[in-house]
Amino acid sequence: MKILVCITHVPDTTSKISFVDEDTLFDKTGVQFIIGPYDDYALARAVELKEQLGGSITALNVGLVETEPTIRKALAIGADEAIRIDAEPKDTFFVAYQIAQVVKGGDYDLILMGRESIDFNGGQVHGMVGELLGIPSVSPVMHLDVEGNIAKLSREIEGGKELLEVDLPIVAGCQEPISEWKIPNMRGIMSARSKPLKVLEPFGDKQKTVVENFIMPAAKRGVKMIDADNVDELVNLLKNEAKVL
Protein backbone atom coordinates (compact mmCIF):
# COMPACT_ATOMS: atom_id res chain seq x y z
CA MET A 1 0.00 0.00 0.00
CA LYS A 2 1.64 3.25 -1.14
CA ILE A 3 -0.15 6.33 0.13
CA LEU A 4 0.49 9.94 -0.86
CA VAL A 5 -0.92 12.58 1.49
CA CYS A 6 -1.03 16.15 0.19
CA ILE A 7 -0.77 18.71 2.94
CA THR A 8 -1.24 22.46 3.02
CA HIS A 9 0.65 24.87 5.26
CA VAL A 10 -2.02 27.28 6.45
CA PRO A 11 -2.65 29.84 9.22
CA ASP A 12 -3.96 28.34 12.47
CA THR A 13 -7.75 28.39 12.52
CA THR A 14 -7.75 31.11 15.21
CA SER A 15 -5.54 33.50 13.17
CA LYS A 16 -6.56 37.03 12.37
CA ILE A 17 -6.23 37.47 8.63
CA SER A 18 -4.66 40.68 7.27
CA PHE A 19 -2.67 41.82 4.26
CA VAL A 20 0.30 44.10 3.46
CA ASP A 21 1.89 45.69 0.38
CA GLU A 22 -1.30 47.45 -0.65
CA ASP A 23 -3.32 44.33 0.05
CA THR A 24 -1.38 42.14 -2.35
CA LEU A 25 0.39 39.96 0.22
CA PHE A 26 -0.80 37.89 3.20
CA ASP A 27 0.65 39.28 6.42
CA LYS A 28 2.49 36.41 8.11
CA THR A 29 3.61 38.47 11.13
CA GLY A 30 2.78 36.61 14.32
CA VAL A 31 0.81 33.93 12.48
CA GLN A 32 1.15 30.34 13.60
CA PHE A 33 1.05 27.88 10.69
CA ILE A 34 -0.43 24.39 10.86
CA ILE A 35 -1.20 21.40 8.66
CA GLY A 36 -4.63 22.13 7.12
CA PRO A 37 -7.27 20.57 9.42
CA TYR A 38 -8.78 18.44 6.63
CA ASP A 39 -5.31 17.36 5.48
CA ASP A 40 -4.63 16.40 9.08
CA TYR A 41 -7.62 14.03 8.97
CA ALA A 42 -6.30 12.54 5.72
CA LEU A 43 -2.88 12.01 7.29
CA ALA A 44 -4.35 10.43 10.42
CA ARG A 45 -6.35 7.95 8.31
CA ALA A 46 -3.23 7.19 6.24
CA VAL A 47 -1.34 6.29 9.42
CA GLU A 48 -4.14 3.92 10.48
CA LEU A 49 -4.33 2.28 7.05
CA LYS A 50 -0.57 1.75 7.06
CA GLU A 51 -0.74 0.16 10.52
CA GLN A 52 -3.43 -2.16 9.24
CA LEU A 53 -2.12 -3.00 5.78
CA GLY A 54 1.58 -2.14 5.77
CA GLY A 55 3.22 0.01 3.12
CA SER A 56 4.47 3.56 3.20
CA ILE A 57 3.25 7.14 3.44
CA THR A 58 4.69 10.06 1.51
CA ALA A 59 3.71 13.58 2.54
CA LEU A 60 3.70 16.16 -0.24
CA ASN A 61 3.54 19.93 -0.11
CA VAL A 62 3.83 22.54 -2.81
CA GLY A 63 5.40 25.47 -1.03
CA LEU A 64 8.50 27.51 -0.28
CA VAL A 65 11.12 26.56 2.31
CA GLU A 66 9.05 28.15 5.11
CA THR A 67 6.65 25.17 4.97
CA GLU A 68 9.30 22.68 6.13
CA PRO A 69 8.37 22.80 9.84
CA THR A 70 4.81 21.85 8.83
CA ILE A 71 6.13 19.02 6.64
CA ARG A 72 8.32 17.80 9.55
CA LYS A 73 5.20 17.69 11.67
CA ALA A 74 3.60 15.36 9.13
CA LEU A 75 6.71 13.16 9.36
CA ALA A 76 6.41 13.21 13.16
CA ILE A 77 2.76 12.13 12.96
CA GLY A 78 3.70 9.13 10.84
CA ALA A 79 4.65 9.87 7.23
CA ASP A 80 7.79 7.94 6.20
CA GLU A 81 9.17 10.45 3.74
CA ALA A 82 8.25 13.81 2.31
CA ILE A 83 8.47 15.77 -0.89
CA ARG A 84 8.38 19.53 -1.18
CA ILE A 85 7.88 21.12 -4.59
CA ASP A 86 9.79 24.34 -4.22
CA ALA A 87 7.28 26.90 -5.48
CA GLU A 88 4.73 29.39 -4.24
CA PRO A 89 1.28 27.69 -4.53
CA LYS A 90 -0.19 30.56 -6.52
CA ASP A 91 -3.12 28.90 -8.19
CA THR A 92 -5.19 25.74 -7.84
CA PHE A 93 -4.33 24.45 -11.30
CA PHE A 94 -0.63 25.02 -10.71
CA VAL A 95 -0.74 23.01 -7.45
CA ALA A 96 -2.82 20.21 -8.97
CA TYR A 97 -0.43 19.92 -11.91
CA GLN A 98 2.57 19.63 -9.58
CA ILE A 99 0.86 16.91 -7.52
CA ALA A 100 -0.15 14.98 -10.65
CA GLN A 101 3.47 14.91 -11.84
CA VAL A 102 4.62 13.47 -8.51
CA VAL A 103 1.91 10.80 -8.64
CA LYS A 104 2.90 9.84 -12.18
CA GLY A 105 6.43 9.11 -11.03
CA GLY A 106 5.36 7.27 -7.89
CA ASP A 107 2.93 4.39 -8.36
CA TYR A 108 0.64 5.37 -5.46
CA ASP A 109 -2.48 3.35 -4.59
CA LEU A 110 -4.16 6.12 -2.64
CA ILE A 111 -3.81 9.86 -2.95
CA LEU A 112 -5.34 11.46 0.13
CA MET A 113 -6.08 15.17 0.46
CA GLY A 114 -8.30 17.40 2.53
CA ARG A 115 -11.78 18.19 1.22
CA GLU A 116 -10.55 21.78 0.97
CA SER A 117 -7.69 24.02 2.00
CA ILE A 118 -8.60 26.59 4.64
CA ASP A 119 -6.76 29.44 2.93
CA PHE A 120 -8.24 29.47 -0.56
CA ASN A 121 -11.09 26.99 0.12
CA GLY A 122 -11.26 25.85 -3.49
CA GLY A 123 -12.05 22.20 -2.77
CA GLN A 124 -10.74 21.59 -6.25
CA VAL A 125 -7.25 20.19 -6.15
CA HIS A 126 -8.47 16.57 -5.68
CA GLY A 127 -10.82 16.76 -8.66
CA MET A 128 -8.17 18.32 -10.85
CA VAL A 129 -5.52 15.75 -9.88
CA GLY A 130 -7.99 12.93 -10.52
CA GLU A 131 -8.78 14.30 -13.96
CA LEU A 132 -5.15 15.00 -14.84
CA LEU A 133 -4.36 11.36 -14.03
CA GLY A 134 -7.57 9.92 -15.47
CA ILE A 135 -8.55 8.27 -12.16
CA PRO A 136 -11.61 8.71 -9.92
CA SER A 137 -11.79 11.42 -7.28
CA VAL A 138 -14.22 11.28 -4.38
CA SER A 139 -14.99 14.09 -1.94
CA PRO A 140 -15.95 14.78 0.83
CA VAL A 141 -15.00 11.36 2.20
CA MET A 142 -16.13 10.48 5.75
CA HIS A 143 -14.98 6.84 5.98
CA LEU A 144 -12.33 4.98 4.04
CA ASP A 145 -11.35 1.33 4.19
CA VAL A 146 -9.27 -0.73 1.81
CA GLU A 147 -9.88 -4.40 1.04
CA GLY A 148 -7.46 -5.83 -1.47
CA ASN A 149 -7.56 -3.54 -4.45
CA ILE A 150 -10.90 -1.99 -3.54
CA ALA A 151 -11.60 1.18 -1.59
CA LYS A 152 -14.84 1.21 0.39
CA LEU A 153 -15.87 4.67 1.37
CA SER A 154 -18.69 6.87 2.48
CA ARG A 155 -19.16 10.31 1.07
CA GLU A 156 -21.21 13.14 2.52
CA ILE A 157 -24.03 14.37 0.32
CA GLU A 158 -26.32 17.21 1.29
CA GLY A 159 -28.63 15.91 4.00
CA GLY A 160 -26.95 12.53 4.31
CA LYS A 161 -24.31 10.20 2.96
CA GLU A 162 -23.71 7.48 0.39
CA LEU A 163 -21.65 4.29 0.52
CA LEU A 164 -19.29 3.76 -2.40
CA GLU A 165 -16.92 1.17 -3.75
CA VAL A 166 -14.17 1.79 -6.29
CA ASP A 167 -10.99 0.12 -7.53
CA LEU A 168 -7.70 1.74 -6.57
CA PRO A 169 -5.99 4.04 -7.37
CA ILE A 170 -8.19 6.96 -6.37
CA VAL A 171 -7.91 10.49 -5.08
CA ALA A 172 -9.95 11.21 -1.95
CA GLY A 173 -10.74 14.58 -0.34
CA CYS A 174 -11.15 13.76 3.35
CA GLN A 175 -13.11 15.23 6.25
CA GLU A 176 -14.16 14.06 9.69
CA PRO A 177 -15.10 11.59 11.04
CA ILE A 178 -12.66 9.67 8.84
CA SER A 179 -10.22 9.60 11.75
CA GLU A 180 -9.17 11.68 14.73
CA TRP A 181 -6.38 14.22 14.56
CA LYS A 182 -3.11 12.71 15.80
CA ILE A 183 -0.69 14.58 18.00
CA PRO A 184 2.97 13.71 17.35
CA ASN A 185 4.68 11.92 20.26
CA MET A 186 8.29 12.40 21.37
CA ARG A 187 9.54 9.40 19.40
CA GLY A 188 7.80 10.67 16.30
CA ILE A 189 9.30 14.11 16.69
CA MET A 190 12.83 12.67 17.15
CA SER A 191 12.56 10.34 14.17
CA ALA A 192 11.07 13.05 11.94
CA ARG A 193 14.40 14.86 11.98
CA SER A 194 16.14 12.08 10.12
CA LYS A 195 13.37 11.06 7.73
CA PRO A 196 14.00 12.03 4.08
CA LEU A 197 12.55 15.33 2.84
CA LYS A 198 13.19 15.63 -0.87
CA VAL A 199 12.99 19.06 -2.53
CA LEU A 200 11.99 19.11 -6.21
CA GLU A 201 12.01 21.94 -8.73
CA PRO A 202 8.51 22.84 -9.97
CA PHE A 203 7.17 21.24 -13.15
CA GLY A 204 6.49 24.20 -15.44
CA ASP A 205 4.80 27.39 -14.33
CA LYS A 206 1.36 27.25 -15.91
CA GLN A 207 -1.39 28.87 -13.89
CA LYS A 208 -4.89 29.88 -14.94
CA THR A 209 -5.83 32.53 -12.40
CA VAL A 210 -4.05 35.53 -10.91
CA VAL A 211 -4.94 37.21 -7.62
CA GLU A 212 -4.84 40.96 -8.17
CA ASN A 213 -5.45 42.03 -4.59
CA PHE A 214 -7.11 41.01 -1.33
CA ILE A 215 -10.10 42.69 0.28
CA MET A 216 -11.22 42.65 3.91
CA PRO A 217 -14.90 42.18 4.75
CA ALA A 218 -16.90 45.25 5.79
CA ALA A 219 -16.91 45.91 9.53
CA LYS A 220 -19.88 44.62 11.53
CA ARG A 221 -22.62 47.14 12.32
CA GLY A 222 -22.59 46.38 16.06
CA VAL A 223 -25.06 44.37 18.04
CA LYS A 224 -28.51 45.45 19.23
CA MET A 225 -29.15 43.90 22.63
CA ILE A 226 -32.72 42.94 23.41
CA ASP A 227 -34.11 42.18 26.85
CA ALA A 228 -35.04 38.53 27.34
CA ASP A 229 -38.44 39.67 28.59
CA ASN A 230 -39.11 41.67 25.45
CA VAL A 231 -38.99 39.14 22.61
CA ASP A 232 -41.67 41.15 20.79
CA GLU A 233 -39.07 43.82 20.09
CA LEU A 234 -36.92 41.13 18.46
CA VAL A 235 -39.85 39.87 16.43
CA ASN A 236 -40.34 43.44 15.19
CA LEU A 237 -36.71 43.68 14.09
CA LEU A 238 -36.88 40.31 12.35
CA LYS A 239 -39.97 41.49 10.55
CA ASN A 240 -39.09 45.05 9.62
CA GLU A 241 -35.29 45.14 9.51
CA ALA A 242 -34.08 41.64 8.62
CA LYS A 243 -37.35 41.06 6.74
CA VAL A 244 -37.40 37.34 7.42
CA LEU A 245 -40.93 37.10 8.80
Partner 1 sequence: MKVLVFLESDEGRIKKSSLEATSYAAEIARETVAMVFGELDLSELNKVGSAGAKKILHVTDSNFDQSNIMAVSTAIAQVFEIENFELMVMAKSSLADSVSARVSIKVDASVASNVTNLPDMANGFTVIRSIYTGKAFARTKLTSKKKILTIRKNTVPILENGSDPEVELFQPNLKSSDTAVKVLSQEKSSGDILLPEADIVVSGGRGLKGPENWGMVEDLAGALSAATGCSKPVSDMDWRPHHEHVGQTGVKVSPVLYVAVGISGAIQHLAGVNSSKFILVINKDPEAPFFKAADYGIVGDAFDVLPKLTKAINAAQG
Residue 199 neighbours by CB under 8 Å, 6+ apart = 83, 84, 86
Interface residue with ligand FAD, options 4, 11, 35, 37 (CB under 6 A): 37
203 makes contact with partner 1 (CB under 8 A): no
Interface residue with ligand AMP, options 4, 35, 60, 102 (CB under 6 A): 60
Smallest separation (angstroms) from partner 1 to the CB of 5: 17
Pairing of strands 81-85, 56-62: parallel
79 makes contact with ligand AMP (CB under 6 A): no
Strands (E) in 36-175, as ranges, are: 56-62, 81-85, 110-114, 137-147, 150-157, 160-167, 170-174
Q: Cβ(71)–Cβ(77) under 8 Å? A: no
227 makes contact with partner 1 (CB under 8 A): yes
209 makes contact with ligand FAD (CB under 6 A): no
Q: Give the range of 22-30, 34-42, 143-151, 154-162 binding ligand AMP by CB under 6 A.
A: 34-42
Residue 85 neighbours by CB under 8 Å, 6+ apart = 60, 61, 62, 63, 98, 102, 200, 201, 202, 203
Interface residue with ligand AMP, options 116, 133, 170, 192 (CB under 6 A): 116
Q: Give the range of 57-65, 131-139, 186-194, 196-204 binding partner 1 by CB under 8 A.
A: 131-139
DSSP of 3-28, one letter per residue?
A: EEEE--EEE-TTPPP-EETTTTEE--
Q: Cβ(118)–Cβ(37) under 8 Å? A: yes
Smallest separation (angstroms) from partner 1 to the CB of 94: 11
Q: Which is nearer to ligand FAD, 11 or 130 (CB)?
A: 11
Smallest separation (angstroms) from ligand FAD to the CB of 55: 28
Query: Treating both helix axes as pointing N-terminal to C-terminal, what angle do 37-53 and 68-77 enclose, rounded to 10 degrees?
Result: 40
Interface residue with ligand AMP, options 125, 133, 151, 197 (CB under 6 A): 125
Q: Give me the residues that bind ligand AMP (CB under 6 A), please.
A: 6-8, 36, 38-39, 60-63, 89, 92, 95, 113-114, 116-117, 120-126
